[in-house]
Structure 1
Amino acid sequence: MAYEKGQIGNEILRAVRNELYMNLPYLDVPLCSLGIREDAGATLGMATDGMELVYNERWLKDRYLRSRRWVNRGYLHVILHCILRHIWKARGKDPVLWDIACDAAVEALLAELDYDCLAAGRYPLREKFLRECAGAMRVITAEGVYLHLLRKKGLTEEDKKSLWKTFHVDDHDYWTPRSRKQEQERQEQDERWEKISRQTQQNQGRGMTESGNGNAVIEQLNVELRENVDYRSFLRRFAAPKEVMKADPDSFDYIFYTYGLQLYGNMPLVEPRETREEKRIEDLIIAVDTSMSTNGDLVKAFLSCTYSILHSTETYTRKVNIHIIQCDNRVEADDAIHDLDDLKEYMSHFTLKGGHGTDFRPVFEYADEMVRRGEFRNLRGLIYFTDGMGHYPKKRPAYETAFVYLGKAPELFPAPPWAIRLELDLPDLYRAAEDDEELEDLIQWEDLPDM
């Protein structure tokens, strides 16, 4: 019987998909979300662009004869890239480091899946690097590994090549769009895979009750899909309504406009409003914990990311009233910022003042006194950047309060129930700042300590 080109490869991958589905039923949707196509150009084996899984048939047949389990892992490896949306997060990153980071994150996840169909041999260099990553972050994610590599001192080109060979499974060249049409399709695929990821997250909870396997997948999805770590969206909640000089097309009624032109020839009855109401950040307090356990470079990174977000056109007015208060067990410094350009200058010369124990109460007492003196017109909130180990106030203030933790909030020192709590990792700050070229001079990511 004669087989057409690609027919054997398609049969192999369909068999692999069925075996994976029998073991991981909660991945049914993503496993069936890629088309299968033979492509001799996929010289490195398997690959995906988010729409299709492409493969080199000669390579696939050889691998399948050697180890069916390896092809199982390779197929799932490609699917996990899509579920975790690695393809669409590559923009602006070092391509070699991002490739290593994505493959390492997926392989760390696969190592946690105790299924016979995915069993693999031991690779000492791979295991050593993943142990190193596990010590630097709570959950091994592509962003976390990328930042870890970026900050890894003495990493040579030879080291990168060695890590790439250690973790390489699929061809990432297909991740790069080659035309404007592909770029538009890529954005649509990103939205599609985000929906698939959320559906998988829900299905996985049900699958876990039956099999008790796959905790790592749940953890990664929780990290990838959690909404409360979008620091940009979080900061916008402190914006207050403000009337700005800007046309408001939403409130414009075209019926009266065209009726006036019809009735009088060239005189509309109404014209667009010249002002509109937008939410802008003007009055804000940023408190910084300067106790012994606080690192000055981390504080600077946090303030720099905050500056980047405030400088976005949707949230800031050039004239602001931001007080940056440094406090350990007493208020050590209060720096008033009235122009965002001044904030950038302040950060370039920022020094941490303090170094004693932690007590959050003095900041709230100081802020209440400033409100009484009329130093704020409309204080929307106070953001307190801290490790969380200190004495919290018992009484809720008149303004909204948020405690931002870099890392996990300590369980022994729970924040009061009236306060907002936000846990950030370094990758979250990096993600918030990566599109801002100005921050390259302000934040030296490679100098930041492990958390």
Structure 2
Amino acid sequence: MDIRDRKEQLATDILKLTRLRLQMKLPVMSGALLLPEWKYRNDGKSTGTDGICLYWNPEEVLRWFHDAPIQVERRYLHLVLHCLYLHPLREPAAEKTIWNLACDLMTEYRIDQMAVQEFQRPVPAERSRCYRKLQEAHIAFREQAVTIWLEADCTMQERKELETVFSGDDHALWKSGGMENNPIVRYEQMPGRAEQLRKQVEVIHRWRTIFEELPVREQEHKRQAGGSAGQQVQTMVPGEDREYDYCRFLQRYAVWGEELEPDMDSFDYLPYYYSRSYYDRLLMLEPLEYKDVQKLQEFVIAIDTSGSCSGALVQRFLQETWTIFQEREKFFAHMNIHIIQCDCVIQEHVKITCRDEWQQYLETIQIKGHGDTDFTPVFRLVDQLMEDGEFRHLKGLLYFTDGDGIYPDVEPVYETAFVFINQKLKKGKTPDWAYDLNLGLETESV
């Protein structure tokens, strides 16, 4: 065995250990961590990914592990998140270097939000300053929005400084040109590209499946943890990334249904491109005109209208939820959403069946109650609605409150999340069977 083989063998042992440690720290991410294969590059280029495999430079792996093993863990997670969000396989939203930087920035931000054991805490000043700038500029923490910010509001020098802070892997293997940007090309002019395209389509489907299963895995992990002594209430703090994280939390209440739209998952690209190349006015295997999708349709929103919850805070919470409702790809056109106002008794019960009704309710809402707080009437009402057949697939209840009240003694059959505007306004302790969801919203203007 020569020196190169020894280095690769040692790097393999390190990567196996790294993956195992990450699985222990982030069990919900196990599927994503196990999916990509490893390959080694001995051309002197840095570690990177093409969205299908992780390409490691053995020299880098050995150096990182020697300096601090935690570096390998963070780099591994960085590459996997690139794949999970399909960064290497997406069309750049701007000039390539800016898009690359936006993806690196968002990847590091997501890692920092995870608060992984032994990763840098508090977040280093350079990254923290950048996140604060984005928050102050009211930039949504998403790739597209960050790309626009980098392009419009940052000088070239500032972008270079950010690259030194956030960039760490090689993006040379990311999507660039070729058949993806010029689909009407004869296959004999691009040997091997048909198989490459098929592999890309398959891996996109796998990553998308893993991504959509994350809320289910998180829920299952929480349920399993509930059987052990000393369980703590899970606290989810989306912070300023609320458009993504709050929506991701709501997705755990999604149900399967059929919707009139092209089913691209059942669509085979190769015959389609072949027919486009060789025939006029003939397309082979068009996608189905309907597809089974998983979207939100039924859930309950309860509002604590006791004296400690002001109307302005309630309005802020409902506005935040309405922002998610405007994203049509996440909700069925027909809804069955019940909004219940309650202090110590039910003050109002409204059923919402479409977006127009939600908008009208938001514009005309009146807060009723301002008495003491008792959460149990809401749960009794929802149980009665279920017995009456009002719900077919109720999976969850969101209860907006400050947390100071009388909680039910018995866990309901549907999932419950007590929602707080921010940590400062939270009072009391929620039951162990409920989620503790902190939106992390500022209230200075409320």
Q: TM-score, normalised by structure 1?
A: 0.48
Q: Which has the larger radius of gyration?
A: 1
